[in-house]
Amino acid sequence: MASSCSQALRHHVCKSSRILRVHLQKAWPNRSFVLNSAADQQPAVSSPEEIVIPKKKTWSKEAVLQALASTVNRDPTASDYRFQDDPYLTPKTSSEFKLFSLSQESGRNAAKYFISTYPKYFQKDYAQPHIPCLMPETLEAQIEEVSEAALIERIQMRKVKAAVDLYDQLQQAGTPVSLDVTNQLLDLICFYGDCDPAQENVPEQRNEETEDVQDEPQTKKQNTLSHNKRSPCLVFSFRENNNAERIFALLSEPNTHSYSALIRGMVKYGAYSKAFSTYTDLLNNQLKADVSTFNALITAAPEVKEKYNEKWELIVDLLKQMAEQKVKPNLLTLNAVLKALRRCGTVGKSQAFPVISEMRALSIDPSLASYNHLLSIFYKPGAPFQGQTDILQEVMNEVSGKSFTPQDPDDAQFFITAVRICLDTKDIEQAYRVHELLGVGENWRLLGNDFQQNIYHARFFSLLCMMENIDVVLKWYRDLVPSVYYPSSNVMRDLLQVLDTDNRLDLIPQIWKDLKQLGHGNRQTLVEELLTLMAREKQNQEVQETFAECALDIKKMYDTGDRGKVMMSWTAGSLSDLVSVLLAAQRRQDAWEILKLFKTHNRVPSEELLDKFLTCIKESGDVNQALELVQISAGFCLPGTPKLIQRVQQEFLLSEQQKSMLSDLEIQTFNSD
């Protein structure tokens, strides 16, 4: 039977092949198709009517993985791919996420240290295809002699101080150093700021708090972090007579590359006026600047002028000089101009679109960084927008459905800026378009690092809580949390407000479980707000039972707290809300135990709470507990104690002894007043 099936299958394939060949010959009789085989084969020779099918097709090493990856989407119930090696240690809170990330980074750096320190033990390459970063790196210089080759080696190893010292030794020995090598040394010094770069095997220390990230100025913080990462110098300024300027002064005939390296270093480290002075020297020496030099000078233009129109005139002058020197601008030129226009106030708004049009005429299409600068020109943080999102709509019309690749370091700021504008203008439609763009192709790679991703999702989810109903909010909540986003306590407070607005307080116990899992179970303001919502209105009995269980669970958090976290302290409001929730669920005994905590923690209950408690006692007819309640009120010297005594006398059947006790309490209360 198996043989008959195989024969039938072979017959079907042959028949299909003949039908396909006949169809192609009829459809395209005058076309020729020449398909190349693998790179190691000779190209096939064919007649115009013949179709040559290659014997072998060479695929990339990752083709199968890419094909498989394209068939699935992100699983919202799964953790991030970085944490799937050990499910037991999968982080559930933002603090655990930071700890796990730093631990992984520390482990990788420790492994790199041992591999690079003892390379002879790690010569076997198991990776297919080859992964260079997994192989040992050469940390020590191999050329000991004082020569230009040794200088090149130290430059390639990014050893700034060692390269400068060796250059000085060559100068003292009278050994000439070629201009190309000297320019490479200048590039190294100006890039790292005359300091050795930070060691890659030292874990990056991240001190930023992801809590409440939506309210923090992320741009300044990110610049500080990236600067600390690239240089051990906390603050570096282009000081007088530094190594870059000293080596540049030793050059007999510096070329454009030499000037470019020095100018870019000056701009990078804040010596803006000196950069323009060096550019003047370049022109005086009958040299032409390259595009990188002009880009740096355009970036520095707003720093050397004060008035908006003067800044713009300087930028225009630099662009005219580019045209005179026949230097073709590139994408980074466009981005430098737009970034400078962010510092030009109203002038920037009037010139932004003409600049983009001029650059497009030169076949320079904007990148995400260009659109980020454009949005930042028209939408300043904290400025009143009055709901106008015309510019944002035009930008989204341009970028929607497109897949972008990284071309500028500021590309990673686009999504954060766009969603910030959507939040400020309360435009949920544009926010959806921004989020949809994030899922096109590999645009998600341009969302930035973990900190930037947290900012984006915090703003996006805050806007959802502000503009959408609870069903839509919960849909996004389950999709994002905690697979890609760990919400802060402020965002969770926004979620509670949505529950309150849409009258879906029955979901509070479920949200409380998430709060504990996300590490917010000890956030006192958040917990108190949750208790207030549960105590405000009486729900049906089933919901009240879940509220009561939730309230008792919250009490445990007050008593024991989370390990390693500050314990919450009882307030009169939190105790009152807890008692009210338990009374609404007919948990009178549990509520009585909570009532005793007022005295334990030196808190004073409200008269309204005691009156509510007495009403609950009346339903059960417990006279002794009613008398104890009156004694508690008298012990706190509450003004409403006489009213409680009067209610007990009227609503309960008392013995003579109990009546006498109430009379004595009434006299004591009157005397104390």
CA distances from 455 to 115, 452, 460 (A): 36, 5, 9
| 592 found inside a domain | yes
Question: Element (H or E) spanning 95, and its range?
Answer: helix 94-117
Measuring CA to CA, which residue among 438, 389, 441 is closest to residue 415?
438
Same domain, 585 and 647: no
Given a contact cutoff of 8 angstroms between Cβ atoms, the answer to whether 368 and 445 are in contact is no
pLDDT of 305 above 80? yes
Report the chain's C-alpha Rg in angstroms: 36
96 in a domain, yes or no? no
Give the pLDDT mean for 649-654: 83
pTM for the full predicted model: 0.79
More confidently predicted of 391 and 235: 391
Judge whether residue 223 has pLDDT over 90: no
| Closest of 554, 580, 485, 415 to residue 495, by C-alpha | 485
Residue 288 domain flag: no
pLDDT at 484: 87
Specify the pLDDT at position 562.
Answer: 60
Domain co-membership, 519 together with 622? no
CB 471 within 8 A of CB 453: no
pLDDT for 186:
94
Per-residue pLDDT, 23: 41
DSSP reduced 3-state for 422: helix
Q: DSSP of 335-393, one letter per residue?
A: HHHHHHHTTSHHHHHHHHHHHHHHHHHTT----HHHHHHHHHHH--TT---TT--HHHH
- Report pLDDT digits (tens) over 160-219: 999 999 999 999 998 999 999 999 999 999 999 888 887 554 444 444 333 444 344 444
**Same-domain check for residues 517 and 576:** yes
The answer to whether residues 562 and 599 belong to one domain is yes
| pLDDT (0 to 100) of residue 129 | 77
The model's confidence at residue 518, banded by pLDDT at 50, 70 and 90, is confident
662, part of any domain: yes
- pLDDT attached to residue 193: 84
Whether residue 575 is found in the same domain as residue 553: yes
Q: 41, 58, 75: which is the final residue of a domain?
A: 58
* 334: in domain: no
Q: Are residues 499 and 591 in the same domain?
A: yes
Share of the chain above pLDDT 90, in %: 50
Does residue 638 lie in a domain region? Answer: yes
How would you class 109 by CB atoms within 10 Å of its CB: exposed for 0-12, middle for 13-18, buried for 19 or more? middle
**pLDDT at residue 295 tops 60:** yes
| Cα torsion through 505, 509, 510, 515, rounded to 10 | 110
pLDDT at 561 over 70: no
What pLDDT score was predicted for residue 206?
Answer: 40
Average pLDDT over residues 28-47: 39
Please report which confidence band the pLDDT of residue 314 belongs to, taking 50, 70 and 90 as the band edges.
Answer: very high
Percent helix, percent strand, percent coil in the chain, to nearest 5: 65, 0, 35
Q: Looking at per-residue confidence, does 649 or 435 come out higher?
A: 435
Contacts of residue 301, defined as CB under 8 A and 6 or more positions apart, other chains included, come to 311, 314, 315, 318, 340
Same domain, 497 and 580: yes
pLDDT in tens, 57-98: 788 888 888 888 888 887 777 777 777 777 777 787 777 888
Tokens found for residue 74: 């992100």
Is there a single domain that holds both residue 563 and residue 579? Answer: yes
Sequence-ordered alpha helix ranges (H) in 119-159: 148-156
Q: At residue 6, does pLDDT exceed 90?
A: no
The yes-or-no verdict on residue 657 having pLDDT over 70 is yes
Whole-number pLDDT of residue 52: 81
Q: What is the pLDDT of residue 267?
A: 94
| 51: helix, strand or coil | strand
Give the pLDDT score at 214: 39
Q: How confident is the model at residue 580 (pLDDT cuts 50, 70, 90)?
A: very high
- Does 618 share its domain with 531? no
In a domain, 566, yes or no: yes
Query: Does residue 128 sit in helix, strand or coil?
Result: coil
Q: How far is CA 242 from CA 128, 176, 184, 265, 502, in A?
A: 46, 21, 16, 11, 64
Residue 320 has pLDDT above 80, yes or no: yes
Based on the fold, state whether residues 530 and 618 are members of the same structural domain: no
Tokens of 296: 């740096």
Residue 197, pLDDT score: 81
Is residue 599 domain-shared with residue 627, that is, in the same domain? no
Cis before 129 (ω within 30) = yes
Mean pLDDT of the chain: 83
- 578 and 669 co-located in one domain: no
| Total number of domains in the chain | 3
Residue 495 and residue 511 in contact, taking contact as beta carbons nearer than 8 Å: yes
pLDDT over 90 at 530, yes or no: yes
More confident of the two residues 381 and 40: 381
Could you tell me the residue range of the domain that residue 672 belongs to? 610-673
Q: Which residue has the higher pLDDT, 401 or 665?
A: 401
421/429 Cα distance (integer angstroms):
12
Q: Over the range 363-380, which residues count as b (16 or more CB within 10 Å of their CB) and which as e?
A: ebebbbbbbbbbbbbbbe
Inside any domain, residue 365: no
pLDDT of residue 48: 63
Instruction: Give yes or no for residue 40 having a pLDDT over 80.
Output: no
User: Which domain-ending residue is among 556, 581, 603?
Assistant: 603
Per-residue pLDDT tens over the stretch 356-412: 999 999 999 999 999 999 999 999 887 776 556 789 999 999 999 999 999 999 999
Confidence (pLDDT) at 572: 93
pLDDT of residue 77: 75
List the structure tokens of 450: 């973990």
Identify the domain boundary among 603, 620, 643. 603
